[in-house]
């Protein structure tokens, strides 16, 4: 990206500033002269926001110069066209689009970038000022990590191969575990839908919900298993033996019931045959009396037989209840084991899709070359005294003089140099080829010399299309006349080329 011209009209303290830019541009001036307003004007024209507005551009009315009723910034972008942003009325003209929204979209498309990437290129401290979560998300975006279900499953397989605990936790072959986990993950995100790290966020959220539900079901099942009593059957009995004995006893009772019916019929005083009531009984009275006596004797054990049958029936019911209770307990135990296995798999998946899982390992593979670029920059900017690495949460930490500290704890001067190194690596990775450095006066002379050498060396090697450097100075220095270098003196909102 290269801006051939920036035109500021009634923007901040600039009444009218028309700047023709080169490859390397250095803006110098005293405090509050309007140097940062040049950079803010560029950012506002391209993104609709700057350091004096919020991210949505609210507060742009404060950008109007005191005494004026409107403001305008024009940026002529090399090979892309002119972007003209105004306030009062608010609008953006670019590419012939009829609405500001369409013009903004076309502007990003022509530049091959987005608001977040432009803001990072235009603000040295943008990345370091992000929260760790925002830094991680932004690194995913910068490094081009995009996800659909196929890439998610491939990343999961790689993570499982690297995790020594995976196979032992599942108690089965790693191949079988991987396939089961893939089947659990597949329904959680639409296939062939590609997006950034939010894909992993969606899957992680759903996995946490499934883990919660599975843990609840396991606790309920274990509670039912622990609370279910098992009847104690009589020892030495099995159901088939008891049922056979019960059938025998019921047969005896049926036979006795037949004998009892015959005895009752024989005892009638109507003279009829008990076997054929339509016929008269030919049995002698004495024989009849004797037979009744024999039948009465045979029926005397009825009460004991009924008791035996009741006892056998109760025993059979106890054995059946015991078998049913055992079957239920076995089913609950099987369900408990299945739920415990599922919970272990969900625990593993939550870890896989959590902050220390596949997103970290995927980012680490892409982060290596990016980190190397940052440290190449720092080798020049700090004469090899500083190096950056990324913590487990992917926030930058800095090694210096044998100590390792988070970048946010460094001095302002140190943070500036770290920010420049990271910003250049981001711009290089995104192929923006643009660098803007505000606050170079925070550096001492040695570090300013290193920064100047860094910028000129990279520009000479055509690694940048354009560099803007802003620094406070008390007096106007001479222009050394280096090829591609332009110097500007800013004073009270007026800019002149040195």
Cβ atoms of 65 and 3 closer than 8 Å:
no
Cβ atoms of 479 and 36 closer than 8 Å:
no
230's CB contacts (< 8 A; 6+ apart) are 322, 325, 326, 329
Strand order through the sheet with 386-390: 386-390, 396-400, 403-406
Q: Where are the beta strands (DSSP E) in 236-393?
A: 386-390
Locate 368 and state its tokens: 């290596």
pLDDT tens-digit profile, the chain (498 residues) = 999 999 999 999 999 999 999 999 999 999 999 999 999 999 999 999 998 999 889 999 999 999 999 999 999 999 999 999 999 999 999 999 999 999 999 999 999 888 888 888 888 888 888 888 788 778 877 887 778 899 899 989 988 887 745 444 444 455 688 999 999 999 998 887 887 777 888 999 999 999 999 999 999 999 998 887 655 655 567 888 888 999 999 999 998 888 888 888 888 767 677 667 677 777 788 888 888 888 888 788 778 888 999 999 998 888 888 888 888 889 999 999 999 999 999 999 999 998 778 877 777 777 888 999 999 999 999 999 999 998 877 788 999 999 999 998 999 999 999 999 999 998 888 888 899 999 899 999 999 999 999 999 888 888 889 999 999 998 888 988 888 899 999 999 999 999
Domain 239-336 maps to which CATH number in 3.40.50, 3.30.70, 1.10.3470, 1.10.287? 1.10.287
Give kind and range of the element (H or E) at residue 85: strand 81-87
Q: Can you give the residue ranges of every domain in the chain?
A: 149-228+345-352, 239-336
List Cα–Cα distances, 228 to 295, 324, 339, in angstroms: 51, 12, 19
């Amino acid at each position: 990206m290269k801006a051939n011209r920036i035109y500021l009209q009634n923007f901040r303290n600039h009444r009218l500033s028309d700047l023709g830019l080169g490859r390397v541009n250095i803006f110098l001036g005293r405090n509050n002269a309007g140097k940062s307003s040049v950079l803010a004007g560029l950012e506002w024209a391209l993104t609709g926001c700057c350091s004096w507005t919020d991210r949505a551009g609210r507060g742009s009315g404060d950008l109007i110069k005191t005494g004026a009723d409107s403001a305008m910034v024009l940026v002529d972008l090399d090979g892309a066209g002119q972007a003209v942003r105004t306030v009062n009325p608010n609008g953006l003209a670019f590419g012939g689009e009829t609405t500001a929204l369409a013009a903004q979209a076309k502007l990003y498309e022509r530049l091959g970038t987005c608001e977040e990437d432009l803001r990072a290129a235009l603000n040295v401290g943008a990345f370091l000022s992000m929260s760790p979560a925002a830094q991680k998300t932004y690194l995913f975006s910068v490094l081009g990590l995009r996800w659909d279900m196929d890439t998610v499953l491939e990343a999961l397989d790689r993570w499982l191969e690297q995790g020594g605990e995976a196979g032992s936790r599942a108690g089965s072959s790693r191949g079988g575990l991987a396939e089961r986990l893939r089947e659990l993950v597949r329904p959680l995100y639409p296939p062939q839908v590609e997006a950034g790290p939010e894909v992993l966020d969606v899957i992680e959220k759903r996995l946490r919900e499934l883990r919660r539900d599975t843990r609840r079901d396991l606790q309920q099942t274990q509670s039912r298993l622990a609370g279910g009593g098992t009847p104690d059957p009589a020892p030495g009995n099995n159901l088939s033996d008891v049922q056979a004995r019960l059938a025998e006893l019921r047969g005896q009772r049926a036979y006795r019931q037949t004998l009892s019916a015959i005895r009752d019929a024989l005892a009638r005083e109507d003279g009829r045959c008990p076997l054929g009531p339509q016929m008269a009984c030919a049995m002698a009275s004495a024989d009849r009396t004797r037979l009744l006596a024999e039948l009465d004797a045979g029926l005397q054990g009825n009460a004991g037989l009924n008791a035996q049958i009741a006892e056998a029936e109760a025993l059979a019911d106890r054995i059946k209840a015991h078998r049913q209770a055992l079957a239920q307990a076995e089913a609950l135990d099987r369900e408990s084991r299945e739920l415990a296995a599922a919970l272990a798999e969900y625990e593993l998946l939550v870890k896989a899709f959590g902050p220390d899982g596949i997103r970290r390992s995927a980012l680490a593979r892409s982060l290596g070359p990016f980190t190397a670029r940052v440290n190449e920059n720092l080798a020049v900017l700090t004469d090899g005294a500083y190096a950056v690495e990324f913590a487990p949460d992917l926030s930058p930490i800095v090694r210096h003089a044998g100590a390792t500290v988070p970048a946010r704890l460094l001095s302002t001067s140190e943070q500036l140099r770290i920010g420049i190194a990271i910003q250049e690596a981001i711009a290089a990775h995104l192929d923006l080829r643009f660098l803007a450095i505000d606050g170079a006066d925070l550096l001492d002379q040695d570090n300013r010399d290193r920064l100047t050498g860094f910028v000129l060396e990279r520009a000479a090697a055509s690694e940048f299309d354009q560099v803007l450097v802003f620094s406070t100075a008390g007096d106007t220095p001479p222009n050394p006349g280096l090829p591609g270098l332009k110097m500007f003196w800013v004073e009270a909102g007026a800019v002149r080329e040195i």
